[in-house]
Amino acid sequence: MDPPATMDNPNSSWVNHRGAWATNISVIISLKIIFSSIPGMSSEASWTLTNLCYNTGTFIMFHWVSGTPFTLNQNENADLTLWEQMDGGLQFTPSKKFLFGLPIVLFLLSTHYTHYDFATFMINLASLIVVLVSKLPSMHMKRIFSEDIPIDKAD
């Protein structure tokens, strides 16, 4: 079965719309402001929490939850995560490159502003690895904690 077209799937087409990239950056800035405004919260802790919350949220949204809330395509995407539905399953599209690079930039910022502390570096690195590995083309239609998508559905 061929991957469904992106524009036929309102669940994943929004990532290519104007403002989607700015929204991701706005979420990161908002998280940083919220964590920095907590009394007694150090700058190092707020950067680490910003990184962890953004990566956890995007991991759940893009790589954990499967299916779509819209049944316009006769459940063709019922077994696919949002990342697998994006751009009709194509790899290395501009949106996927942006969403792959953003956690790296956030990791570098977090590492810099935590003054390269080893403990926070390892926490931020572990979070980055989990998020980036799930975005790799070799993980397309692979499941870690459940069954992989059967071959007949993946073709």
pLDDT at res. 5 = 47
Say what the alpha-carbon torsion angle 7, 86, 95, 148 is, to the nearest 10 degrees: -170
Query: Residue 3 pLDDT more than 50?
Result: no
**Mean pLDDT, range 89-100, rounded to an integer:** 85
pLDDT at res. 72 = 64
Tokens 């950067």 -> residue: 47
Q: How far apart are CA 152 and CA 21, in angstroms?
A: 34
For the chain, the average pLDDT equals: 82
With beta carbons less than 8 A apart as the criterion, state whether 49 and 108 touch. Answer: no
Query: Residue 143 pLDDT more than 70?
Result: no
- pLDDT tens profile 30-82: 999 999 999 999 999 999 999 999 999 999 888 787 766 666 666 666 677 77
- pLDDT tens profile 5-30: 444 666 677 777 788 899 999 999 99
Residue 50 C-alpha from the chain's centroid: 14
pTM (predicted TM-score) = 0.82
